[in-house]
Structure 1
Amino acid sequence: MALIPRPQSPGWDDVIDSVDRRLQYIGAQARLNSSQCDHRRGQYATLPTGLGFGGGRTEPGHYANSAHNARLMDEFLNDQAVQLVARFVDAGLQTLFPKLHRFLENLLEKILVDNPDLKRMFAGCCYGACHVNLLSAWTRPHQDYFNILFAMCCAFSVGNFDHTRGGHLIAWEFGVVTEFPPGTAIFLPSAWVTHANVPIESHERRSSIAFFMSSGLARWYHNGYMSDKSFQELATDRQLQSWKEARSKLWEVGLEMLLPDS
C-alpha cells in the first residue's frame, strides 16, 4: 500500500479542479438505475469504463453502459485533465512497483493485439479499466475480488471535503487508517485487502477514479486466449496438470511482482 501526495507542479491545481468538475458533470447528467447507486461497495453512484472479461462474456470486451452514459464516459476518457491524471497514476505505479507495471502494460498490449476491435482506455496508462465513483462516494468494507489478486489498484480522489475529518481510507488487514486528501492517489491490493472509506459530511462532495485490471484478462491470456472453462475442456492431462501447478504458485509470482528491480 502506498500514497502519492497531491502534485505540487504548476498547473496541477487546475488539473484536479477540472477532473472534479468533469465528475460533477457526469454525476449530474448520468441516468442511473438502483443497482448503480446502491451496491455492495456502498450507496453512491458509480459507472465503469475500459476492458474486462468475465460476468458472462465469451471474450474480452468493453464494460457496458447505456447509450446516454456511454457518451458521458467517452467524454470522460477524452478529457485532457483526466488523461493527465491517468498518466500520473501510471508513473506512480512504475516508480513504486516497476515489475508489476511491466506485467500490466505487457498484458494490456497482448490483449489489444489479439482483439483489434478493443480500445485502450488511456494512452500512457497500463490499467485496463476504471470506475468513476461520484459526488458523495464513500465505501463500505469490501474487496474487489474480480481484480488481479496481486495487482495494486489505484484510487484518485477529488472533491470538496475536510480530509482530516472524513474520506480516510481504511485497510483492515493492514491495520491502517490514512487521510486521503483531494488530488492524491493510493495504491492498494484491493482484491484481497478489505478496504473502506470514512464517511464525509452531508454538505461535502467527494468523487474518485478507481483504476484496475480485471483478473479475467490475465486468465484469458494465460490460457492461450480462452476462458478457464474452454481451456479445461480442450487441455490434455499434461497441460491441465501444468495449469493447476501454475495456479497453485500464483502467490509466489505475485510476490515477486511487488519486489523492486534487483
Structure 2
Amino acid sequence: MQRTSRAIEAAARDHVGELKKRAIENALRATAIAVDSLDMASLPVSATGWTGNPKFQLPGGLLRVWRALDLLTGSVGFRFLDWDGITSVVIVGCRDRIVAVLGGIPPGAAEDKWSSVVRDAEGAIEACYAQSTFEEKEREGRRGEFASRTFGFGFGFGNGRPKPMNYKISGSGKQAVAKNKEAVDKLISNDDGIRALSGFTNDLFNCFGHKLYMEYKDAVEELVEKQPELARNFPSTVFAAATVNFGPRSFSPPHMDSDNRADGWCADTALGNFDPDKGGHLVLWDLQLVIRFPPGSSVLFPSALITHSTLPIQPHETRYAFIQYTSGGLFRWRANGFKTDADWLKKASPAEVLDREAARRRRWKTALQKFTRWNDLRFGDWKGLRRSKAGLDDCSDLLELESEEDVKRLRDR
C-alpha cells in the first residue's frame, strides 16, 4: 500500500490543475470490490453508441421481488454490500474497469462537519418543496410516486437544439411558474449544502473516471460557449443537468436512464431521515449487488446501462435524492458539429456518411477504453498513459483477454 500511495502522489504532481488534492486523497483511501461476472461489453447500448438501449428489460420474476430486501439477498442470491457510507469503495468488473464508485464523504472531513453539509442540503430541498406548487401529474412520475424538479440543460424529446431544462418547470399560471423557478434558483444557490455535494461528486468523477470527466468538462464548456442560455447549475460542475426527488419517500422500481450518455456516470446522492439498514438500498441488477446506501452518501455509476432501483423506506421516514447527469444527445449534437443528425446528413458527402457509420460501430469499443482501470489508478496512472505506451489500448472487452504478460508488462513500465 505504501508503494501504491507514493505512486499516486507522484503521478498527481503531473496533473496540477486537473486533479485537486481531495481527488488524490479519494484514490489513496479507496478499496475495491470485484464483480467478476460483469462483462461491460454485454451491457445494452443503442445503435449509435451514445445512449443506452431502452428495450432491455428484466425478467418478470425479478420484477416481482424488487421491493423485498430479504428475497433479493436470499432466494434470488444477490450479494449484499454493507457499505458504511463513509469510506470510498470502487466496484471493478471482470476486465479491471472501474464500473461504479461508492464515494463516502470527502477525505479529511470530520463526520459531524459533513453531517452539517448534509443537513443544510436537506433543508434547502425541503424549503424548495414547500415554496413550490406541483400539478397532480407531477406528483407521480415514471420513476416513482414522488414530486421532482429537473434543471440544467439537455437535448432530445423533439427539440431541434439543446435547451435549458427549466422550461419543464410548470405551474398553474405565470405567477406559479415564476414562484417555482425562484424556488429552484434558491435551491441551486445553496452554497453550504447542495453546491458542496455537487463539488464532492465532481471530485469523485475526476478521480475515478478521469478520461470521461475531462470529456464531460470539454463538452459542457463548448456547449455553454456556443449557447449562453445554457447555464450550468453550479460554477464548476461538468454535469449538464440535475434532478431533485422531493419524496417525501423517494424510491424507484428497476429502470435504466437510457437517455443519459451510455458510458458516462450519473452521481446519485441520498438524503433524508431513514434507517439505511431497513430501506433505501441501491440495487444494481446487472452486478447482482444490493448496496446499503445511507443518507448523505453518494454513488456514481453508468445509469444508462445498468438497471438499478432503490428499496422502499418505512412509512414514517423521509428520503430525497439529488441526481446529476448529462444527456447522451448533447454529445451527439457536439460530434455533429452542433447539428442534429438530420441537418448533418443534409450536407454530408457519401464518404462522410460512410466514415460516420464506421465511427458509430467503433464508438462502444472506444468508450470501453475510457473507463479507468483499477490497477492503473493504484499505480498512479490517472490517464492510462502507460497502457497506451505499452500498446494495450486496443485490448478492450470486445477482443481477447489481456494476457498475464500484457498486464505485467504494463505494470513494470
TM-score scaled by structure 1? 0.96
Instruction: From 205, 226, 239, give the equivalent of 1:93.
Output: 205
DSSP 3-state at the match of 1:257: coil
Matches within 5 A, 1:100-249: 100-134=212-246, 135-249=248-362
Q: SS state of the match for residue 150, structure 2? A: strand
Indicate the structure (1 or 2) with the bigger Cα radius of gyration.
2
Instruction: Spell out, residue by residue over 1:129-148, the C-alpha distance to the aligned partner (whole angstroms, 9 max, x if none).
Output: 01001121101111101100
The residue type paired with residue 27 of structure 1 is Y
- Tell me the secondary structure at the aligned position of residue 209 of structure 1: strand
Task: Give identity over the alignment, percent.
Answer: 27
3-state secondary structure, aligned to 1:137:
coil
Residue 43 of structure 1, CA deviation:
1.1
Q: Does 1:2 align with 2:115?
A: no
- Distance in 2 (CA, whole Å) between partners of 1:245 and 1:176 is 35
Q: What secondary structure sits across from 1:216 in the alignment? A: helix
Between the aligned partners of 1:6 and 1:204, the Cα distance in structure 2 is 23
Question: Structure 1 residue runs of 4+, over 3 Å off?
Answer: none
The root-mean-square deviation of aligned C-alpha atoms, in Å, is 1.3
Partner of residue 18, structure 1: 120
Comparing 72-81 with 251-260, greater Cα deviation is found at 251-260
The answer on whether the counterparts of 2:208 and 2:372 sit within 8 Å (CA) in structure 1 is no
Given that residues 152 and 230 in structure 2 are in contact (C-alpha distance below 8 angstroms), is that contact kept between their aligned partners in structure 1? no
Given that 1:59 and 1:226 are in contact with CA atoms closer than 8 Å, whether structure 2 keeps it comes out as: yes
1:133–1:207 CA contact under 8 A, matched in 2: yes
Structure 1 residue runs of 5 or longer lacking an equivalent are none
Structure 2 stretches lacking a partner, 5+ long: 1-99, 171-176, 374-382, 385-413
Cα drift, residue 36 of structure 1: 2.4
1:76 alignment partner in structure 2: 187
Q: Which residue of 2 aligns with 1:30?
A: 132
Shift of 1:117: 2.5
SS across alignment from 2:152:
strand
- The correspondence for 1:254, drawn from 367, 377, 387, is 367
Provide the TM-score with structure 2 as the length reference. 0.62
Question: CA–CA distance in 1 between the matches of 2:240 and 2:259?
Answer: 13
Deviations 1:53-77 (A, max 9, x none): 1112221111021323211111111
The answer to whether the Cα contact below 8 Å between 1:171 and 1:193 also exists between their aligned partners in 2 is yes
In the alignment, is the contact (CA less than 8 A) between 1:151 and 1:254 conserved in 2?
no
Aligned length: 262
Conserved 8 A contact 1:133-1:208: yes
